[in-house]
Structure 1
């Protein structure tokens, strides 16, 4: 395999669009090979609106996971074709349905034996290492130790990524060494500017309280990807996840700049996405504008 290969590991359908949708579209537009691995079907998500409300796990049909496969398929298609002109399609860790959405910490769903957090750690690590050995990415993107906002499945993604990278590098039959490992994060200044740009608020929506949305100090962010040229693709991908995301409507030709989840807390849609390089050690004082920066490909 030749060329740039980027692997992004996410916990649930919609995380790929919320956290890295612009980056996925950016590199697809540059003809890089991109793979998005999703670890659960998002069965425990809270559904927005009445149309699909009865699909939920708690007191409903428990069919939400299957519907979210469709939403993920539509979102990835919206982000653009891959290097060969084919539409990006979902890839689930261990196969679709192998592990179940754990829900929030302390909830009944977190005690489900099939919950992602209850899997012996070696199993998802091995499954991800196999994908790394197959796809051979130079760059892997996952989550920070807090799992962004603390969801147990996000934390588990953090737990498995570094371990899987190490396993893939030492597996004799299909050895592959990943060059760079990143956390997808939110930059504090970008968050503040994004919230300041929100000029219209739906009556049921509210602005976040100070510190309610997670972010990192600017100095800790190592990498910034300009996604302004693929911004519309990211918006389309967010809209594809209609059971989970509501994109702000606009009355004119302006691009929407915000969205809410089921909690109705406004969040900005960024025209730049941010990352922290964790392997290898970042160069102090240097902010990258490319996840493949410094690689001899």
Structure 2
């Protein structure tokens, strides 16, 4: 890695990165900063939205993971990201799957594969990431919060692995064979702004769209992944890179429909819907903030 600023993102499945931080990734690449993405599974258990590819499902040919590997490569080309790895190498950990709890969040599925990421040994998985951290030497790490946004077991496990690996990587005496120690200066958890989500929903409903984000009331309770604005720490304005983010989302065709809620929100609200991405700081000292009290650059103060 050659740039002065280096960002590492840890995500559970292909497409999570584009949904959460696609605009930030494209912006930082364009600015000459190094961006490394580590994906923990290939998303083998994902729902397939393309009828002609339903034969790839886990209960049929079980070829979705390899297909999504290609989708991820295409998405990274759209964002300009050239350094992407699978945790421990492709196929090391399998998508754990999920089911919905009656309270509206995800939980582990009833049947989980033997090498599912949810069953991964924490230290073993963290060591794979320690190797990457010590090689890349990022100043900033981005991952999920402790609930994985909405409870998906792989998101929760990615959070645990990322946070533990960040600790281990900084210890001089720990696993010297994995590289020289590196202490990541700032760690962020991706977030969705409550005020922005409510504004977006109001715009969608006003446009007559009642199916996108079905069941969500602009003035009612918000999903688990929506965070009160007072708990946010940073907002990266990458609106000029929204086209790249949307192209990356479209590349994940088996998972994201171009006429689905992500595109509906963008069509009705404009570039602010997905072009400004929010974060909660989990480690480090916040840098200078803008008028809204939020950092505008994840590298601020580094």
Structure-2-length-normalised TM-score: 0.84
Q: How far apart, in 1, do the equivalents of 2:90 and 2:256 lie?
A: 22
Counterparts in 2 of 1:187 and 1:9: CA distance versus 1, 3 Å: same
Residue ranges of structure 1 left out of the alignment (5+ in a row) = 83-87, 250-254, 260-267
Which residue in the other structure is 1:100 paired with? 94
Q: In the aligned structure 2, how far is the partner of 1:113 from the partner of 1:28?
A: 37
Q: CA RMSD in A?
A: 2.3
Per-residue CA deviations over 1:101-131 (Å, capped at 9, x if unaligned) read 0111342443x21000101111111111110
Secondary structure, counterpart of 2:46 in structure 1: coil
C-alpha distance in 2 between matches for 1:100 and 1:148: 20
In the alignment, what sits opposite 1:288?
295
Q: How many residues align?
A: 274
The corresponding residue for 1:235 is 246
**C-alpha distance in 2, partners of 1:192/1:123?**
41
CA distance 1:194–1:117, change in 2 (3 Å): same
Aligned to 1:263: none
Please, which moves more after superposition, 112-121 or 210-219? 210-219
TM-score between both structures, scaled by the size of structure 1: 0.86
Q: CA deviation at 1:202?
A: 8.0
1:279 match: 283
| Structure 2 match to 1:61 | 61
Give the match for residue 192 of structure 2. 186
Moved over 6 A (4+): 202-205
- Give the corresponding residue for 1:146: 147
Structure 2: which 5+ residue stretches go unaligned? 99-106, 267-271
Of residues 124-133 and 195-204 in structure 1, the stretch that sits farther from structure 2 once superposed is 195-204
SS of the aligned residue for 1:163 comes to helix
Q: 2:7 touches 2:34 (CA, 8 Å); kept in 1?
A: yes
- The offset of 1:54, in angstroms, is 1.3
C-alpha distance 138-12 of structure 1, shift in aligned 2 (>3 A): same
Q: 3-state SS of the aligned residue for 1:224?
A: strand
Displacement of 1:227 after TM fit?
Answer: 1.4
1:216 aligns with 2:227: yes
2:189/2:280 contact within 8 Å kept: yes
